Amino acid sequence: MSEPVALDLSTRSAGARGKPPRHFADLSPDERAAAVTDLGQPAFRARQLATHYYGHLTTDADEMTDLPAASRQALVEALLPPLLTQSKRLTADRGTTVKTLWHLFDGARVESVLMRYPHRSTLCVSSQAGCGLACAFCATGRLGLTRNLSTAEIVDQVRAAGRMLADGDLPGGPTRLSNVVFMGMGEPLANYARVMAAVRTLVAPVPDGFGLSARNVTVSTVGLAPAIDKLADEGIPVTLAVSLHAPDDELRGELVPVNTRWSVAQVLDSARRYFERTGRRVSIEYALMRDVNDQAWRADLLGELLNARGRGWVHANPIPLNPVPGSRWTASEPSVEAEFVARLRAHGIPTTVRDTRGSEIDGACGQLAGQEDE
Ligand code: SAH
């Protein structure tokens, strides 16, 4: 790689072109109380605002009827400014998959994809506008990195989706958001501090957060090994997904350029440590590409590498490659996919082929490119 990887384990500012407006979801409890008193309001209004935002999922002053009419508007304007402006919404799967394209304050664009299933609802959130990791088969990777999202820009994707579900906007009646996966645009562990602050907010009980269960939050990474180790020390047992895509460094280096920095072995060792620290079984993501990474011997090698690090700590999630315009790669033949899965299972690796929702609206894994007109 010619450019250094944008691996951010610290607290750099959100972007070169200034920061998004101050938002409640970016502030600590003390900062919230101070912001409210600065507006001439009693500090307890911060908790009322939190209940509206995280509990009722609203930023609409008119709905905040427990606040004095005179102060609602001022509080909302100062602390809940709009961060995401909906620019387009596409639906698929009979309305149960919804992709939203958002414009951010500086014109950057990101997408989130909401998927309703019979017994859960999952939001796929973006953590960066674009992505700097340049995986060859991923539409977002072709864009390059525009900037990191702020914590509130991530959190507000979740609030907006929760509100859609609560309002019954998806078929099946009103429901709650149960799962969040960091599988939208960007590499979450390259925007570490802000993603972790967002994760803490997702799992904090209402009114401090959305009250999701940590196991229902999945952080998917291209394999930034030191950041996986850091995540293991956070004490929040989120589900970790590792985008492996090849068991050998030669091929993985082609598909996932950051592999030249952290090899297959280093990534798998970190993933194994993650399991030890958290007790959470790790997912290995593997996009099956015809005649590229779908050979039976690669399934065997993957099974051996996983078993070499113990039993019962990992499961495999192959997914047929979703088409990306201009890419030379296509999905594996179904029979080849079936053989790949059978080989992994023969090694004792629990394996589930991931379902690919929303591919016809370019809302599936690896297809998010923030296009205005498709
Ligand atoms: N940067 C993170 C999260 C975003 S991508 C990561 O790499 O894990 C979410 C998942 O979709 C990853 O496993 C990614 O490798 C996969 N993916 C990317 N492009 C894809 C494509 N065209 N078809 C199927 N999966 C793809």
Least Cα distance to 161 among 225, 111, 226, 213 occurs for 111
Going from the Cα of 91 to the center of ligand 1, the distance in angstroms, rounded, reads 20
Are 331 and 204 in the same domain? yes
Residue reference for tokens 């989706």: 161
Decide which of 347 and 5 is more confident.
347
Any atom of ligand 1 within 6 Å of the Cβ of 111: no
Per-residue model confidence as pLDDT tens digits over 16-34: 468 999 999 999 989 999 9
Going from the Cα of 243 to the center of ligand 1, the distance in angstroms, rounded, reads 7
* pLDDT for 292 beyond 70: yes
Asked if residue 11 is part of any domain, the answer here is no
Of 183, 221, 245, 322, the one to substitute when testing ligand 1's pocket (max ligand atoms within 8 A of C-beta) is 183
Going from the Cα of 189 to the center of ligand 1, the distance in angstroms, rounded, reads 14
Are 43 and 128 in the same domain? no
Going from the Cα of 359 to the center of ligand 1, the distance in angstroms, rounded, reads 13
In this structure, the residue with its CA closest to atom 17 of ligand 1 is: 366
Asked if residue 7 is part of any domain, the answer here is no
Any atom of ligand 1 within 6 Å of the Cβ of 138: yes
Split at pLDDT 50, 70, 90, the class of 373 is low
* Residue 113 parent element (H or E): strand 109-116
Rounded mean pLDDT of 105-117?
A: 96
Return phi, psi of residue 303, to 5°.
Answer: -60, -40
Q: What CATH number did the domain enclosing 154 receive? A: 3.20.20.70
Any atom of ligand 1 within 6 Å of the Cβ of 365: yes
Rounded mean pLDDT of 135-160?
A: 96
- d(C-alpha 181, C-alpha 196), whole Å: 13
Are 162 and 259 in the same domain? yes
* Domain end among 12, 46, 79: 79
Asked if residue 48 is part of any domain, the answer here is yes
Are 33 and 91 in the same domain? no
Q: What CATH number did the domain enclosing 48 receive? A: 1.10.150.530
Split at pLDDT 50, 70, 90, the class of 13 is very low
* pLDDT for 1 beyond 60: no
Q: Which atom number of ligand 1 is nearest to the Cα of residue 356?
A: 24
pLDDT attached to residue 17: 60
Return phi, psi of residue 42, to 5°.
Answer: -65, 150
DSSP assignment, residue 95?
A: G
Decide which of 5 and 237 is more confident.
237
* pLDDT for 127 beyond 60: yes
203's CB contacts (< 8 A; 6+ apart) are: 209, 210, 211, 212, 213, 214, 217, 236, 238
Asked if residue 39 is part of any domain, the answer here is yes
> 307: how many CB neighbours lie within 10 A of its CB?
14
Split at pLDDT 50, 70, 90, the class of 65 is very high
Asked if residue 58 is part of any domain, the answer here is yes
Decide which of 118 and 359 is more confident.
118
pTM: 0.94
Are 139 and 187 in the same domain? yes
Q: Which atom number of ligand 1 is nearest to the Cα of residue 285?
A: 13
Per-residue model confidence as pLDDT tens digits over 296-310: 999 999 999 999 999
Rounded mean pLDDT of 36-44?
A: 96
Are 344 and 367 in the same domain? yes
Asked if residue 14 is part of any domain, the answer here is no
**Average pLDDT of the chain to the nearest whole number:** 93
In this structure, the residue with its CA closest to atom 18 of ligand 1 is: 366
Q: Are 301 and 248 in contact (CB under 8 A)?
A: yes
Are 71 and 95 in the same domain? no
Q: What's the Cα-to-Cα distance from 369 to each of 88, 138, 145, rounded to whole Å?
A: 13, 9, 11
In this structure, the residue with its CA closest to atom 20 of ligand 1 is: 366
Q: Are 186 and 140 in contact (CB under 8 A)?
A: yes
Are 39 and 107 in the same domain? no
Asked if residue 311 is part of any domain, the answer here is yes
- d(C-alpha 49, C-alpha 159), whole Å: 14
Q: How far, rounded to the nearest angstrom, does the alpha carbon of residue 293 sit from its chain's CA centroid?
A: 24
* Domain end among 60, 79, 98: 79
Are 163 and 292 in the same domain? yes
Rounded mean pLDDT of 40-46?
A: 96
Are 182 and 283 in the same domain? yes
Are 290 and 155 in the same domain? yes
* pLDDT for 236 beyond 70: yes
Q: Residue 209: which domain range?
A: 85-371
Number of structural domains the chain divides into:
2
- d(C-alpha 214, C-alpha 331), whole Å: 32
Any atom of ligand 1 within 6 Å of the Cβ of 127: no
Split at pLDDT 50, 70, 90, the class of 36 is very high
Return phi, psi of residue 360, to 5°.
Answer: -75, -10
Q: Which atom number of ligand 1 is nearest to the Cα of residue 133?
A: 1
* pLDDT for 72 beyond 80: yes
Catalytic residue IDs: 111, 365
Asked if residue 150 is part of any domain, the answer here is yes
* Domain end among 79, 97, 113: 79
pLDDT attached to residue 365: 78
Going from the Cα of 128 to the center of ligand 1, the distance in angstroms, rounded, reads 14
- d(C-alpha 33, C-alpha 29), whole Å: 6
Rounded mean pLDDT of 3-7?
A: 45
Per-residue model confidence as pLDDT tens digits over 296-348: 999 999 999 999 999 999 999 999 999 888 788 999 999 999 999 999 999 99
pLDDT attached to residue 212: 98
Are 144 and 72 in the same domain? no
- Of the chain, the percentage scoring pLDDT greater than 70 comes to 95
Any atom of ligand 1 within 6 Å of the Cβ of 324: yes
